[in-house]
C-alpha cells in the first residue's frame, strides 16, 4: 500500500499569510494526487486534482505542485474561509489512500 505523509499536522496562520502544506508518497505516484478541504461538520471538497489542476469554482489562491513522491498545496493570502483541514490523496493504485490531514488554524 502507498503511504501518504502530510506535514505539518497543524499550522497556525493569520489572514493574508501564505501557507504551504506538503505531502509525501511512499512510492512514485506520478501526478496522481488530489487535495481536499474539509470544514468542521462538513463533507470534504475537492480542491486540486492531477497534482496541479484547480477544480472548477475553487479560488485561484489555491495551487498544487509536484510529481513523483513530493507534492505541495499552497494557499496564497489566506482568507477567513480557508481555516479548515486539508487532506492529500493518491489515486495511482489501490487501495486509494489519504494523508493524515493538516489543520490550518487561526493564529
Residue span binding other proteins (CB under 8 A) among the ranges 15-23, 30-38, 65-73, 75-83: 30-38
57-to-27, 61, 76 alpha-carbon distances in Å: 31, 12, 16
Quote the cell numbers at residue 56.
472548477
Judged by CB under 8 A, the residue of 2, 19, 25, 34 near other proteins is 34
101 binds other proteins (CB under 8 A): yes
Q: How does 46-59 read in b/e, with b if 16+ C-beta sit within 10 Å?
A: ebbbebbeeeeebe
Cβ 41 to other proteins shortest distance, Å: 10
Judged by CB under 8 A, the residue of 14, 81, 95, 107 near other proteins is 95
105 binds other proteins (CB under 8 A): no
- Helix, strand or coil, per DSSP, at residue 75: strand
17-to-40, 85, 101 alpha-carbon distances in Å: 21, 16, 20
68 binds other proteins (CB under 8 A): no
Judged by CB under 8 A, the residue of 49, 69, 78, 82 near other proteins is 49
Residue span binding other proteins (CB under 8 A) among the ranges 14-22, 32-40, 61-69, 72-80: 32-40
86 binds other proteins (CB under 8 A): no
Cβ atoms of residues 78 and 69 within 8 Å: no
Amino acid at each position: 500500500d502507498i503511504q501518504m505523509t502530510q506535514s505539518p499536522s497543524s499550522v497556525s496562520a493569520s489572514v493574508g499569510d501564505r501557507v504551504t502544506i506538503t505531502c509525501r508518497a511512499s512510492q512514485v505516484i506520478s501526478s496522481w494526487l488530489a487535495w481536499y478541504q474539509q470544514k468542521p461538520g462538513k463533507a470534504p471538497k475537492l480542491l486540486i486534482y492531477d497534482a496541479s489542476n484547480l477544480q472548477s469554482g475553487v479560488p485561484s489562491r489555491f495551487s498544487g505542485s509536484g510529481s513523483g513522491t513530493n507534492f505541495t498545496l499552497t494557499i496564497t493570502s489566506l482568507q477567513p474561509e480557508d481555516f479548515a483541514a486539508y487532506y492529500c490523496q493518491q489515486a495511482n493504485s489501490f487501495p486509494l489512500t489519504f494523508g493524515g490531514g493538516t489543520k490550518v488554524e487561526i493564529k
